[in-house]
């Protein structure tokens, strides 16, 4: 496609769902306080790493801002006396490290703006509410009938998305919600195609899609207006929360954890599967299913934020399904997210780990069977399609939706092709990220195994055995050489290669050309002469060096063959002057 030749501008390349990990590398004490040097890592790429320096007061401010989550976090208390002692600083560093481990491993806390700003101030120093107000004000210049009632602070989990309660001057009693968001890293549509697809959303009329009043885009952001629902989302209903409350306050640690009734799970599950199948049949990618994106209207579920995939926004559950390489298509993501949603509707909270190791008892065996069917059959076998999910076992056939004919403005063929290409680009980026995570996991396992105590002991034992073997071989070689040397010296016979009286034949022997034949290896260099088994008497040296000169002269004459072995004893005692 032509639009893929030049990458679109204006989108945010940073994926906010990629996990941050933090390790306190060191601490340094200044005159009145201590600073902690933190190494922060984004994802698994070694290139995406940096340092931040934080004081204890910075940790304290972060902890206070996270109290809205109503979670009991293990945080080191303040100490006024003795807070500069080395032992205390080391103990406090351990406590702060444990605190960082807790908040970075928690799904909701790790994605909130407070934690991102604490660990990555360079990328999260902007006031997104002010930017959103500026963009909305520019929009209202061309649409003067709209008016902002109040900003809805922190009702969503996205950092780069803001909500405002607005009203139309022609209908002042009706409250509507305006959502503003930056274009994300998975935005692969041209500005023109994106605007055409966004304008189709208000024309879609589906009983299980929450209607859009107005939608438009700019070069860097998008704006969507919907009716305000006083009852809130499915997650609000499960958590017994108010729609306007902050995201962390509502969902991070709900006081009442209770699943839905069996009939509600049947009804909502059927409706959600039907709308997912509808989207995939029309070639419209979704991939953003979770309980906060499902609006409740009595006994009817309606899907929210269909525009997210067009805007290139990363999915809420992306940190989860990037761990599984078989979940590599948008459709398989929807099946995976449906499993999450079904579990949450059943137990009142999302699963602690995926895949689910064990299921708690529920009022209905059928719900457990469905969860096991999706979690085990679809996930493990790699069969992730809405059609397969709808082909449930006979005992679970109550989930089968009866699709109805719907009236909506069709997507033009050209835009369908554009959507298909953009969807393939999303899946390609996902596959590359999954591959990188898989390789990093294998390397980590190998390093962990190599560094384990058991493996270290094995390597030490092998090293000792090899050292003993080498020492034994060297001892045998040395004994063999000494034996051969003694035999040769006692008999007076020498090997032709080591005897000084047997000169080495010239290289040109047997070869008129003066070079060795190809098949004849070059002669080996003669080894040093064998040790002599001759007792040597102590030689006192004279002051003028006469004794040393006589000894050297004897050795040289012996090497030349002009001195016999018996004569060495006669000349071994020089004249002392």
Strand partners, 226: 177
Residue 566 forms part of a structural domain? no
Neighbouring residues of 415: CB distance < 8 A, sequence distance ≥ 6: 193, 196, 197
State which of 412, 439, 466 marks the end of a domain: 439
Residue 509 forms part of a structural domain? no
Q: What is the DSSP letter of 233?
A: B
Range of the domain at 42: 20-119
Q: Are residues 407 and 276 in the same domain?
A: yes
State which of 407, 439, 471 marks the end of a domain: 439
State which of 420, 439, 458 marks the end of a domain: 439
Q: Are residues 308 and 236 in the same domain?
A: yes
Report yes or no: 565 and 543 within 8 Å, Cβ to Cβ.
Answer: no
Q: Are residues 91 and 147 in the same domain?
A: no
Q: Are residues 384 and 410 in the same domain?
A: yes
**Maximum mean pLDDT: which of 178-182, 397-401, 442-446, 509-513:** 178-182
100-114, 166-180, 406-420, range with the lowest pLDDT: 406-420
Residue 54 forms part of a structural domain? yes
Q: Are residues 241 and 350 in the same domain?
A: yes
Phi, psi of 48 (to 5 degrees): -95, 75
Q: pLDDT tens digit string along 309-328?
A: 999 999 999 999 999 988 99
Residue 488 forms part of a structural domain? no
Residue 276 forms part of a structural domain? yes
Q: Are residues 102 and 160 in the same domain?
A: no
Residue 545 forms part of a structural domain? no
Instruction: Inform me whether the pLDDT recorded for 31 exceeds 70.
Output: yes
Q: Are residues 255 and 382 in the same domain?
A: yes
Report yes or no: 242 and 189 within 8 Å, Cβ to Cβ.
Answer: no
104-118, 272-286, 353-367, 559-573, range with the lowest pLDDT: 559-573
Instruction: Inform me whether the pLDDT recorded for 92 exceeds 70.
Output: yes
HSE-CB at 191 with a 13 A cutoff on CA atoms is 11
Number of domains comprising the chain: 2
Q: Are residues 141 and 96 in the same domain?
A: no
Q: What is the mean pLDDT of the chain?
A: 78
CA distances (Å), 370 to each of 170, 227, 264, 278, 504, in order?
48, 34, 15, 21, 90
CA distances (Å), 34 to each of 75, 76, 459, 464, in order?
17, 14, 41, 46
Q: Are residues 142 and 115 in the same domain?
A: no
Q: What does the alpha-carbon distance between residue 71 and residue 248 come to, in Å, rounded to a whole number?
A: 10
Output the six-digit token pair for 405: 């004919």
Q: pLDDT tens digit string along 499-538?
A: 344 444 444 344 434 444 444 455 555 555 444 444 444 4
Q: What does the alpha-carbon distance between residue 22 and residue 98 come to, in Å, rounded to a whole number?
A: 10
Residue 71 forms part of a structural domain? yes
Q: Are residues 396 and 345 in the same domain?
A: yes
- CA-CA-CA-CA dihedral for 479, 485, 489, 495, to nearest 10: 150
What is the model's pLDDT at position 96?
Answer: 96
Q: Return the H-helix or E-strand segment holding 276.
A: helix 262-281
Q: Are residues 76 and 146 in the same domain?
A: no
CATH number at residue 199: 1.10.510.10
More reliable by pLDDT, 404 or 449 = 449
Q: Are residues 242 and 284 in the same domain?
A: yes
Q: pLDDT tens digit string along 217-271?
A: 998 999 999 999 988 999 999 999 999 999 999 999 888 778 888 889 989 999 9
User: For 304-412, where are the alpha helices, taking DSSP H only?
Assistant: 308-311, 318-321, 330-347, 365-372, 379-381, 386-390
What is the model's pLDDT at position 422?
Answer: 95
Q: What does the alpha-carbon distance between residue 575 and residue 550 come to, in Å, rounded to a whole number?
A: 9
Residue 7 forms part of a structural domain? no
CATH number at residue 79: 3.30.1520.10
């Amino acid at each position: 496609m032509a639009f893929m030749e030049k990458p679109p501008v204006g989108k945010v390349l940073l994926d906010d769902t990629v996990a941050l990990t933090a390790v306190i590398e060191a601490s340094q004490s200044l005159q009145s306080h201590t600073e902690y040097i933190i190494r922060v890592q984004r994802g698994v790429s070694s290139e995406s790493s940096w340092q931040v320096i934080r004081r204890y007061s910075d940790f304290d401010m972060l902890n206070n801002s996270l109290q809205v989550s109503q979670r009991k976090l293990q945080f080191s208390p303040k100490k006024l006396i003795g807070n500069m002692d080395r032992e205390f600083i080391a103990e406090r560093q351990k406590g702060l490290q444990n605190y960082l481990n807790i908040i970075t491993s928690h799904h909701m806390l790790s994605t909130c703006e407070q934690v991102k700003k604490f660990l990555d101030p360079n990328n999260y120093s902007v006031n997104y509410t002010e930017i959103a107000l500026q963009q909305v004000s520019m929009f209202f210049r061309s649409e003067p009938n709209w008016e902002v009632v109040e900003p809805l602070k922190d009702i969503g989990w996205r950092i780069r998305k803001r909500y405002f309660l607005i009203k139309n001057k022609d209908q002042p009693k009706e409250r509507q919600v305006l959502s503003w968001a930056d274009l994300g890293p998975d935005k692969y549509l041209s500005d023109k195609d994106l605007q055409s697809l966004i304008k189709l959303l208000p024309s879609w009329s589906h009983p299980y899609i929450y209607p859009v009043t107005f939608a438009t885009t700019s070069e860097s952001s998008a704006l969507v207006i919907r009716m305000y629902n006083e009852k809130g989302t499915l997650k609000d209903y499960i958590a017994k929360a108010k729609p306007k409350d902050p995201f962390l306050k509502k969902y991070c640690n709900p006081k009442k954890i209770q699943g839905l009734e069996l009939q509600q799970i049947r009804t909502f599950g059927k409706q959600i599967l039907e709308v997912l199948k509808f989207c995939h049949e029309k070639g419209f990618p979704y991939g953003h299913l979770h309980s906060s994106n499902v609006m409740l209207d009595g006994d009817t579920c309606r899907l929210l934020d269909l525009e997210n995939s067009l805007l290139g926004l990363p999915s809420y559950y992306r940190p989860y399904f990037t761990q599984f390489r078989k979940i590599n298509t948008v459709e398989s993501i929807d099946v995976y997210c449906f499993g999450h949603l079904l579990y949450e509707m059943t137990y009142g909270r999302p699963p602690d780990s995926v895949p689910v190791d064990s299921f708690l008892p529920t009022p209905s065996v059928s719900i457990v069977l469905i969860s096991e069917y999706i979690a085990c059959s679809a996930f493990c076998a790699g069969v992730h399609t809405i059609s397969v999910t709808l082909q449930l076992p006979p005992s679970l056939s109550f989930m089968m939706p009866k699709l109805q004919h719907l009236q909506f403005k069709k997507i033009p063929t050209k835009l369908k092709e554009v959507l298909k290409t953009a969807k393939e680009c999303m899946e390609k980026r996902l596959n590359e990220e999954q591959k990188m995570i898989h390789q990093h996991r294998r390397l980590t396992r190998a390093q962990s195994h190599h560094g384990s105590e058991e493996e270290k002991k094995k390597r030490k034992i092998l090293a000792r055995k090899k050292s003993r073997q080498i020492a034994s071989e060297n001892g045998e070689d040395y004994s063999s050489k000494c034996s051969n040397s003694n035999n040769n010296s006692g008999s007076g016979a020498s090997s032709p290669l080591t005897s000084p009286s047997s000169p080495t034949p010239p290289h040109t022997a047997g070869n008129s050309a003066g070079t060795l034949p190809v098949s004849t290896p070059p002669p080996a260099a003669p080894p040093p002469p064998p040790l002599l088994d001759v007792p040597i008497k102590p030689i006192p040296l004279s002051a003028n060096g006469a004794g040393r000169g006589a000894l050297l002269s004897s050795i040289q004459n012996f090497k030349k063959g002009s001195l016999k072995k018996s004569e060495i004893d006669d000349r071994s005692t020089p004249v002392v002057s």
